[in-house]
Amino acid sequence: MKNLAYALLAATTLVLTACATNPMTGRSQLIAMPDAQVDQMGLQAFSALKKQKPVTQNGQYNQFAHCIAKALTQQTGGQWEVVVFQDDSLNAFALPGNKIGVYTGLIKLVDNQDQLAAVIGHEIGHVLSRHSNERASQQMLTQQTMGILQQTTLGQNPMTIGLLGLGAQYGVLMPFSRTQESEADIIGEELMAKAGFNPQQSIKLWEKMAQASQGQQPAEFMSTHPAHATRIQQLEQHLPKAMSLFQQAQAAGRQPQCNK
């Protein structure tokens, strides 16, 4: 029992010393790594990806993605690198260190600038909210806690450790990821609206993504992403605020003209 108490105390201390606040939403976060270190990891990952994946030579796709990203990042500040990768996956991402990647498959899927802005805005939202640092910190804390527990009497039972690992995966890491995804959806919806993109198209985008997935999505409690229906509902609930921001942006002359 003494060893178990020590393990719980050590885990609690790790959590308390790593508490932070999401700069975009005010939600409490677990941030245990220096942002500079996470940024460097993002730069390394982006550099490696550019060596592994071909970059598209399609000038229209490049211009389309760069135009949208420029309008969005004017609202966030900083210098962002944008690369369009030749890949049919329906994907885009943003990494710490202000790096944005867009796949040609996603560009082919979207109908207009607003739908692609919804995805890129979502990905930028992850960076602004320090989600990569939060996820890395969560995993580091989980591994450290598991290591401490393995030194206790409780941790000598392989079945117990297995259940603890399963509990950490489905009870901590995955739910946090769904929280982050929902945050990024709302941040992205607001960001695209502030940049002058129609936030109503964020809902259209996820309807298209749902159709493209053809129902091939795991049960929500076993997924790191919310179900398509869940995120559509959340975006719809937040739409009145986003539309107000969009109308303000339009009145201020922010009217992007990014042609696919």
pLDDT 10s digits, 166-214: 444 444 444 557 888 899 999 999 999 999 999 999 999 989 988 887 7
Quote the domain boundaries for residue 56. Answer: 2-251
Q: Please give the C-alpha separations between residue 74 and each of 118, 121, 153, in angstroms, as whole numbers.
A: 15, 12, 55
Instruction: Let me know if residue 257 belongs to a domain.
Output: no
Q: Is 256 inside any structural domain?
A: no
Q: Is residue 246 a part of any domain in this protein?
A: yes
Confidence of residue 6 (pLDDT cuts 50, 70, 90): very low
**In the prediction, which pLDDT does 176 show?**
53
The catalytic residues are 123
Would the pLDDT of 222 be above 70?
Answer: no
The pLDDT mean for the chain works out to 82
Is 209 inside a domain boundary? yes
* pLDDT at residue 12, rounded to an integer: 52
pTM above 0.95, yes or no: no
**What kind and span of H or E run contains 144?**
helix 131-149
**Distance of alpha carbon 218 from alpha carbon 220, whole angstroms:** 6
Asked whether residue 260 is domain-assigned, the answer is no
Please give the tally of structural domains in the chain.
1
Q: What is the Cα–Cα distance from 190 to 199, expressed in whole angstroms?
A: 8
Within a domain: residue 15?
Answer: yes
CA–CA dist 38, 99 (Å, integer): 13
Quick check: 111 pLDDT over 60?
A: yes
Residue 31, domain member (yes or no): yes
Read off the pLDDT of each residue in 4-24 and give the average, rounded to a whole number. Answer: 58
Return the closest-CA partner of residue 9 out of 158, 148, 147.
Answer: 148
Q: What are the start-end ranges of the H helices in 150-227?
A: 158-168, 174-194, 200-213
Residue 236 forms part of a structural domain: yes
